[in-house]
Structure 1
Amino acid sequence: MVNQLNPRPRQVEVWFQNRRARTKLKQTEVGCEYLKRCCENLTEENRRLHKEVQELRALKLFPQLYMHMNPPTTLSMCPSCKRVAVSSSAAATRPSLQQLQTVVR
């Protein structure tokens, strides 16, 4: 079929250059999307960790207040993921960062 079109060598060269450029652009787009998703996940994790740090600082500053507001909790080990979990009733009574900040003010 190529013989039927009878392209000049320069046309063939340009066609392959364009093909390589399109392939490289597509790979770049895929890589960019992957990095964008990673960045979004890391940003969300960063927000979560900042919130956790604030809560821990509040706990460190006001441990008596925190313990007074919280009854003793029941901890249990999740058999599938081996993480310690707080019972739902204790988690429901745990004061939020906003509640602790209002008490401080």
Structure 2
Amino acid sequence: VTCSLNQYSTICFSHIHLHVISQDFDSPCLKNKKHWNSFTTDYFMPSHDVIRMLETDGRVTVKEGTSELLKLHLRCHVCHREIPTIPALKEHIKSHFSK
């Protein structure tokens, strides 16, 4: 299973925290567009970028308008096809990850 090691770009928590997430996104916890877009857009910052910012500036800087990414249409993170619903998206993703 391929995993991604990233942080949210909108630091809305008092402490930075790390997410390790499989790229098949096969989870009952992933329930809505906001969840999906938080993990599959630039809202989810690569850990090396966060570490670099902390080492260089002592803080994490977020680009203005980043929260707008949560409102984007649902898209497959593999082929970028627009999918109308989370259930349809999860079913579509299975075609990219054979078990």
**Do these two structures clear the TM 0.5 threshold for a shared fold by scoring above it?**
no
Decide which structure has greater helix share.
1
TM-score by length of structure 2 reads 0.24
Larger RCO (CA under 8 A, 6+ residues apart): 2
Indicate the structure (1 or 2) with the bigger Cα radius of gyration.
1
